[in-house]
Amino acid sequence: MGYMLVDEGGGRVYSIPAGESTAGRAEDAQIHLAHPSISRHHARFIHDASGLWIEDLGSRNGTSLEGKALEGRTALQEGVTLTLGHLEFVLQHGPVGAVPEPPAPPIREKARATQPITERPGRSDLSAIRSHAAAPASPSAESSGSSSVAFIAFAIGALLGALVFLAWLRLG
């Protein structure tokens, strides 16, 4: 029977080998955790006849057990929550090589409409207004609506630029 770190957020499972093992970002770490919040040699696990122990190796983002920072070598029990850097794991005990079932996704109810979606009130009034609008001066004038918006935006930008320039001249 061995121990496993189960990353419930990401669904990954890391086996903790018997003896001493290092968890970290370094390639030589027996438990390789490739995450920016994990130090190269973040924590040490000691798995011997007396049980499983963990100690932080002076990591930058720390190691905590059930939300409390580790102080020295600490005994671990199945089901506890370990946080290494910004990664959260649950410690599970089972046959070596066994992969626990992934956690069920949280149930989130979608908001349901109580009434069918219909056309917004007053929408038909807009089409009536459009039909009574003045005819375009040229056939391409109707398609140039977006260009007139662009021109207005350009004119406002030019005006603001001129005001900033005049203010600069006045202060200088």
How confident is the model over 66-83, as pLDDT tens digits? 999 999 999 999 999 999
Residue 77: the pLDDT is 95
141: pLDDT strictly greater than 80 = no
Residue 95: the pLDDT is 66
Burial category of 66 from C-beta neighbours within 10 Å (exposed 0-12, middle 13-18, buried 19 and up): exposed
DSSP state of 102: P
Residue 52: the pLDDT is 96
58: pLDDT strictly greater than 50 = yes
Backbone angles phi, psi at 148, to 5 degrees: -70, -35
Is the pTM value of this prediction over 0.85?
no
Which residues are CB-contacts of 79 (< 8 A; sequence separation ≥ 6)?
Answer: 90, 91, 92
19: pLDDT strictly greater than 90 = yes
57: pLDDT strictly greater than 70 = yes
Which residues are CB-contacts of 8 (< 8 A; sequence separation ≥ 6)?
Answer: 88, 89, 90, 103
Residue 154: the pLDDT is 87
